Amino acid sequence: MKNKFKNYKDCISYLFDLERAGIKYDLKNTRTILKHLDNPHKKFKSIHIAGTNGKGSVAAFLNSVLIEKGLRTGLYTSPHILDFRERILVNGKMISKNFIIDFTNRLFNLIEDIKPSFYEISTALAFEYFRVCKVKYAIVETGLGGRLDSTNVLKPMLTIVTGISIDHTEFLGNTIKSIAGEKAGIIKRNVPCVLGHVNNIVKNVFTDKCKSKNSKLLFAPSLFEIEMYKKNENGFLFSIKSKERALNAVKCSLVGEYQTKNICTSLAALNQITEKEGIKFSDAILHIGFNNVVENSKFYGRFQLISVKPSIVIDVSHNLESLSNIECNLKHFTYDRLVIIFALMKEKEYKKCLKEIEKLNTQVVLTKPQYKRALEPTELYKVAKRKENFVIKENVKEAFLYAKDISNKSDLILITGSFFLVSDFLKIYNKYFK
pLDDT in tens, 335-382: 999 999 999 999 888 999 999 999 999 999 999 999 888 999 999 999
Q: Cβ distance 394 to 367 under 8 Å?
A: yes
Per-residue pLDDT, 168:
45
pLDDT at 307 over 50: yes
pLDDT at 321 over 90: no
Residue 148 sits in the same domain as residue 88: yes
Residue where a domain terminates, one of 247, 267, 297: 297
pLDDT at 2 over 80: no
Residue 242 sits in the same domain as residue 333: no
Q: Kindly report, residue by residue over 167-224, the tens digit of the pLDDT.
A: 544 445 458 888 899 899 999 999 999 999 999 999 999 999 999 999 999 999 999 9
pLDDT at 315 over 90: yes
Residue 280 sits in the same domain as residue 318: no
Reported confidence tier of residue 23, pLDDT bands at 50, 70, 90 = low
Per-residue pLDDT, 21:
60
Reported confidence tier of residue 42, pLDDT bands at 50, 70, 90 = very high
Residue 374 located in a structural domain: yes
Residue 1 located in a structural domain: no
Query: Which of 17-26, 131-140, 255-264, 324-333 shows the highest mean pLDDT?
Result: 131-140
Q: Kindly report, residue by residue over 52-78, the tens digit of the pLDDT.
A: 889 999 999 999 999 999 999 999 999
Per-residue pLDDT, 174:
59
Per-residue pLDDT, 22:
58
Q: What is the mean pLDDT of residues 274-290?
A: 97
Q: Which of 36-40, 179-183, 227-231, 334-338 has the lowest mean pLDDT?
A: 179-183
Residue 274 sits in the same domain as residue 322: no
Residue 219's DSSP bridge partners are 195
The residue type of 331 is K
Reported confidence tier of residue 230, pLDDT bands at 50, 70, 90 = very high
Residue 2 located in a structural domain: no
Per-residue pLDDT, 169:
44
Residue 414 sits in the same domain as residue 268: no
Residue 200 sits in the same domain as residue 83: yes
Residue 35 located in a structural domain: yes
Quote the number of domains for the chain: 2
* Arithmetic mean of pLDDT over the chain: 94
In the chain, what percentage of residues exceed pLDDT 90? 86
Q: What is the mean pLDDT of residues 240-247?
A: 94
Burial of 337 (0-12, 13-18, 19+ CB in 10 A): middle
Residue 293 sits in the same domain as residue 310: no
Residue 3 located in a structural domain: no
Residue 265 sits in the same domain as residue 382: no
Residue 229 sits in the same domain as residue 333: no
**Domain range for residue 351?**
304-433
Residue where a domain terminates, one of 266, 297, 328: 297
Q: Look up the CATH number of the domain holding residue 410.
A: 3.90.190.20
Residue 228 located in a structural domain: yes
Q: How far is the C-alpha of 204 from the C-alpha of 30, rounded, in Å?
A: 31
In the chain, what percentage of residues exceed pLDDT 70? 96
Per-residue pLDDT, 395:
96
Q: Look up the CATH number of the domain holding residue 92.
A: 3.40.1190.10
Interior CA angle at 260 toward 138 and 167, to 5°?
70
- Spatial CB neighbours of 46, under 8 Å, sequence gap ≥ 6: 137, 138, 139, 140, 154, 155, 156, 157
Torsion sign, CA atoms 354, 299, 140, 25: positive
Which DSSP string corresponds to 255-288? --TTHHHHHHHHHHHHHHHHHHH-----HHHHHH
Reported confidence tier of residue 431, pLDDT bands at 50, 70, 90 = very high
What is the reported pTM?
0.94
